[in-house]
Amino acid sequence: MRMPRSAGRLAALAAMMLATLAGPGRADVYRAIGFDSARIESYEAETPGLLRLFEDGGGQGILREGGGLPPVIAADPATGSAVLALATMPTPPGARADRVELIVANRLAFGRRWVVGLRIYLPQQPLAKGNWTLLLQCHQDGSGQPPPLSLNLDPDGSLVLVGRGDADSYRRLWSAPLPMGRWVDVGLDFRLGPEGQVRLALDGRIVAEAAMPLYWAGAPETCSLKTGIYRGASDLPLALQLDDVTLADSLDELPF
């Protein structure tokens, strides 16, 4: 039986405290964003396209461009829990892409294990045909290339795990329909670099596992981890909600 979200967050906080007390060598939670006490402030007057989300003393950047709308902290009607609501309108003239992405972490080091978890809610809605959409990406800093690892939303509504690298520039490692109209728990366990590895968990079950180079040579061996909406130009709007965005060492540390 799945725990209520409030219980899940308490469990995540307890796990984080225990890991801190246990010292090095134990799994840890580095970031846990539940949105219950969050607020969003705009810095677009100083830096176009930049907003920041603040919660429990921490701050995360939110990037916005094209038809991306300002993000909103909203209440999930089913639970009353606060969630992050993201949406984009059709791409405005002159723009090449739409974006409203939460920066989970910057400069994640290659060659070590990272785990990102989140809950995602995709409402019933038409999806743009012949378009690319990233729901999560770890973009290699300074590479100028597509991300070595991403979760894509295909026009047919499929969630796609994509791996990229010098030796194999694009691989669909797994795909399946992403249920619309309900919350889906997503966990991505990965290591970037020449000996890259990735595991994908949905609703608590491992659905994909792969080993392949996940990096671009000649660029810094760090990545920026972002989640939300980033897509090519489209004449349709797109909306989704996020909750319990977590950066950790282990899938066991995620709050769901």
Q: What percent of the chain has pLDDT over 90?
A: 83
The two structure tokens encoding residue 30: 């580095």
List, in sequence order, every beta strand (DSSP E) within the chain: 29-33, 39-42, 50-55, 58-65, 72-75, 82-88, 97-109, 114-121, 133-140, 149-153, 158-163, 171-177, 183-191, 197-202, 205-211, 222-232, 238-248
Would you say residue 45 has pLDDT above 90? yes
Per-residue pLDDT tens over the stretch 102-135? 999 999 999 999 999 999 999 999 998 888 999 9
**Mean pLDDT on 46-65:** 94
Q: What value does the mean pLDDT of the chain take?
A: 90
Nearest to 120 by CA among 51, 163, 180: 180
Contact 126, 92 (CB under 8 A): no
Amino acid at 129: K
Contact 156, 178 (CB under 8 A): no
Contact 100, 71 (CB under 8 A): yes
Sorted by sequence, the CB contacts under 8 Å of residue 241 that are 6+ apart come out as 74, 76, 83, 84, 85, 86, 120, 121
Would you say residue 10 has pLDDT above 70? no
Per-residue pLDDT tens over the stretch 237-251? 999 999 999 999 999
Domains of the chain in sequence order? 5-253 (2.60.120.200)
Per-residue pLDDT tens over the stretch 192-201? 999 999 999 9
d(CA 180, CA 240): 10
Sorted by sequence, the CB contacts under 8 Å of residue 21 that are 6+ apart come out as none
d(CA 231, CA 177): 18
At residue 112, the pLDDT reads 96
At residue 26, the pLDDT reads 56
Would you say residue 90 has pLDDT above 60? yes
- Count Cα atoms within 13 angstroms, Cβ side, for 203: 7
Neighbours of 7 (CB within 10 A): 11
